[in-house]
Amino acid sequence: MENLDYGIIGNCKSAALISKTGSLEWCCLPNFASAAVFAKLLDEKKGGSFEIIVDDSYKITQEYLWETNILNTEFTDGENSFQVIDFMPRYPREDGSFYAPPDIIRFIRLISGKPKFKVKYDPRLDFAREKTYNEFKGNYIKSFTKEGKYDSLFLYSSLDLNDVLEGEEIELTGNAYFLLGYHEKLITQSLDRSYLKFQRTKTYWMNWSARTTRYTHYENEIMRSALVLKCLSYKKSGAVLAAATTSLPETIGEERNWDYRFCWIRDASMVIKVMAGLGHIKSAKDFLQFIIDIIPDKDEKIQIMYGINGEKELTEHILDHLSGYKDSHPVRTGNAAYIQKQNDIYGILMEVIYQQFNQFETSLENSEELWTVVRGIVKIVEENWQKPDKGIWELRTEDRHFVFSKLLCWVAIDRAIKIGEVLRMGINDTHWKSLRAEIYNDIYNNGWNEEVQAYTQYYGSKDLDASTLLMEQYGFIEAKDPRFVSTVHATERELCKDGLMYRYKNKDDFGEPTSSFTICTFWLIDSLFKIGEKKKAKQMFDQLLSYSNHLGLFSEDIDFETKRLLGNFPQAYSHLALIETAANFSLGTTSEETWLSEF
């Protein structure tokens, strides 16, 4: 495939990517951060897949079922037609808990005629490190490893499993199902049982969507993005993933390949702010509890990222046996950036905590825990804001005084003061206000470059950076302030190419960036809208939306020339920015279901 033409399915425990031809080519089980059981995405020969193969006479189309994370791929040759409906079960039990097993169900619905297809069932457990063996066990196929780390997988179906294993042609005479499970099933599986799980999962997603704030424009794009963000949330801990994949390159053939199956405090905080604004308050509360859980001690430093269960060590490993997406080496698990110091995370986290206090009810116990976190963050910021860091883009070169990092240190103190006002706590108020003013003056005097007429990437630099476009959004500067207007125009001139934005253009650890970072284009559009250039902003927004894949999904990056999607996929950053930007062009209306308790 020459583009990331995949759909994502998931159940807030794990996720899978299905190609536009119905091929399952990426899935980690039993959870997001586990080893892949299918990884053709990262190696077409070794990675493994679960494919539905038809001859060239069939036309294949794909779409999501309305306002769900259930994917429908339809195959037709005019006379013979069938659908493959892919989903991961998720729905509430009577006791209020959720049924969300590490399973994938592929429900096959006969539409007309007697269509024929073959199945290529080729799991490669543990990232295909060792050989995977498949054995027919009578009512299921067991896939397992013998060497290295033991792992196993189970496939159930109403179709002939010998035909499936042998890749024989199958004639569909009625509805059928596949159930792919990480665990062996203790209850006999059947077509009716799979269909019931489909209906319950469909109802769950439609109910979830019904509680999402509606907008007068771009409603479908906002809803799809919200469903993507929900799909990237890990219900067990409250963590939010940056993306569902690892090692999809920012540029084909380069080494900018990272594992994004972790919870970045920055990304997750921005996601939760957006989700709360869409009416999904429970998601915000779950994430805040995740933060409380990973900061047990008052003097414990906050990392920039954690594992989905709060793991603190995310050691990076290279999988040399995999060729990488389109031969882009290396394939990585883990992420060495977890040890980096990035001072901007404190402000972004504080913004979410402030929103929680300001808009939603909190228990006394929860408020006391969060207030402890707030005071701890203020202490860390006070001790570190004057120090250089790696910045929002996680540059692996020398530390610098990045303007965005300083801005978010100011945000941290500003929001801490406001949280204290909400709680009517006068503690350290005068001192905190003095600290806020000190940081503000430092940015105002040192972040601005008079020659360039813009706030630049770091103190003393002439290089521009898209992150400075967020200065207005965080309340540091007014939209009509001449400095902000000038920064927007200068940044657009320097970093915008054919309607797409660079993060920055100066050299980093891997040379000069060669692809567009999707969220940065949304930031420019948002900024242009706010300084009054609304028509231009809308034109750019509509153009950018046209670069999504066939299902409206975005990755991390876009190629300037071909408009091909690049980088990890689907990217939470890109979709949260889409929602925020689309909201500018529309008025939100809260549905009555928003006020009901969230599933």
- Residues 6 or more apart in contact with residue 99 via CB below 8 angstroms: 89, 90, 91, 92, 93, 200
Q: Are 523 and 501 in contact (CB under 8 A)?
A: yes
Q: Are strands 71-76 and 59-64 parallel, antiparallel or unpaired?
A: antiparallel
Largest CA distance in the chain: 77
Cβ neighbourhood burial of 599 (10 Å; 0-12, 13-18, 19+): middle
**pLDDT band, very low/low/confident/very high, at 310 (cuts 50, 70, 90):** very high
Full 3-state SS string of 397-461? CCCECEHHHHHHHHHHHHHHHHHHHHCCCCCCHHHHHHHHHHHHHHHHHHCEECCCCEECCECCC
The predicted structure's pLDDT at residue 592: 43
Task: Find out whether 382 and 417 touch, Cβ atoms under 8 Å.
Answer: no
Q: What is the mean pLDDT of residues 536-543?
A: 96
Q: Can you give the pLDDT at residue 597?
A: 39
Distances (CA, A) of 268 to 29, 203, 222, 229, 465: 22, 27, 18, 10, 22
| Cα gap 103→89, rounded to integer Å | 7
- Which element (helix H / strand E) includes 6? strand 6-10
Give Cα separations from 3 to 213, 549, 559, 566, 590 (angstroms).
Answer: 31, 8, 10, 8, 36
The SS3 of residue 280 is coil
30 prior amide bond cis, ω within 30: yes
17-21, 299-303, 591-595: least confidently modelled range: 591-595
Mean pLDDT of 211-216: 92
Range with top average pLDDT, 80-94, 294-308, 373-387: 80-94
Using DSSP's 3-state secondary structure scheme, residue 230 falls into helix
**Cβ neighbours of 407 (radius 10 Å):** 27
If one compares 556 and 373, the residue with the highest pLDDT of the two is 556
pLDDT tens, residue by residue, 144-163: 999 988 999 999 999 999 99
| More confident site: 593 or 145 | 145
Arithmetic mean of pLDDT, 191-216: 96
Residues 479-496 as b/e (b if ≥16 CB within 10 A, e otherwise) read eeeebbbbbbbbbbebbb
170-186 mean pLDDT: 97
* Per-residue model confidence as pLDDT tens digits over 325-334: 999 989 999 9
* Residue type for position 442: D
The string over 4-31, giving b where at least 16 C-beta atoms fall within 10 Å of a residue's C-beta and e elsewhere, is bbbbbbbbbbbbbbbbbbbbbbbbbbeb
pLDDT (0 to 100) of residue 283: 84
Distance separating alpha carbons of residues 400 and 314, to the nearest angstrom: 24
pLDDT category, 62, cuts 50, 70, 90?
very high
Mean pLDDT confidence for 518-545:
96
**pLDDT (tens digit, 9 = 90+) per residue, 42-57?**
999 999 999 999 999 9
Q: How much is the mean pLDDT over the chain?
A: 92
Q: Which residues contact 179 (CB under 8 A, 6 or more apart)?
A: 103, 104, 105, 106, 155, 156, 157, 185, 189, 194
Please give the radius of gyration of the chain, using alpha carbons only, rounded to the nearest integer: 25
pLDDT tier for residue 363 given thresholds of 50, 70 and 90: low
- The pLDDT of residue 119 is above 60: yes
Tell me the β-bridge partners of 531: none
* 588 has a pLDDT exceeding 60: no
CA angle at residue 192 from 191 to 195, to 5 degrees? 85
Specify the DSSP class assigned to residue 355: H
Residues 355-359, mean pLDDT to the nearest whole number = 78
Instruction: Give the pLDDT of residue 593.
Output: 43
Residue 239 CA to residue 290 CA, distance in Å, equals 6
Does residue 417 have a pLDDT over 90? yes
Q: Is 347's pLDDT higher than 60?
A: yes
Q: In 41-190, which ranges are continuous DSSP H helix?
A: 125-128, 161-166
Confidence of residue 584 (pLDDT cuts 50, 70, 90): confident
User: pLDDT category, 2, cuts 50, 70, 90?
Assistant: confident
Q: Is residue 427's pLDDT more than 80?
A: no
Say whether 108 sits in a helix, a strand or coil. strand
Name the token pair of 497: 């190419």
Q: What is the average pLDDT across 453-460?
A: 96
The Cα-based distances of 524 to 259, 439, 456, 504 in angstroms read 27, 25, 15, 13
Residue 598 predicted with pLDDT over 50: no
pLDDT computed for residue 398 by the predictor: 77
Total Cβ atoms within 10 A of residue 506: 15
Contact criterion met (CB below 8 Å) for 145 and 130: yes
Render pLDDT for 501-518 as a digit per residue (tens, 0 to 9).
999 988 665 566 778 999
- Taken in order of first residue, the domains within the chain and their CATH numbers are 6-210 (2.70.98.50)
Q: 232 falls in which pLDDT band (50, 70, 90)? A: very high
**Percent of the chain having pLDDT more than 90?**
76
Smallest Cα–Cα separation from 163: which of 190, 192, 125, 136? 136
pLDDT of residue 587: 64
pLDDT of residue 511: 61
Which range (11-25, 112-126, 152-166, 355-369) has the least confidence? Answer: 355-369
* pLDDT score, position 268: 85
Q: Are 307 and 259 in contact (CB under 8 A)?
A: no
Helical ranges in 447-563 per DSSP H: 482-495, 518-530, 534-545
Cα separations (Å) of 124 from 27, 40, 42, 141, 245?
A: 10, 9, 12, 14, 16
What do you get for the CA distance between the two ends of the chain, in Å?
A: 37
pLDDT at 465 over 60: yes
> What is the C-alpha to C-alpha distance for residues 424 and 417, in angstroms, rounded to an integer?
10
pTM for this one?
0.93
pLDDT, average across residues 460-489: 96
Average pLDDT value for residue range 264-273:
86
Q: How many residues does the chain have?
A: 599
Omega before 92 cis (within 30°)?
A: no
- The DSSP bridge pattern shows strands 557-559 and 515-517 to be antiparallel
More confident residue, 587 or 264: 264
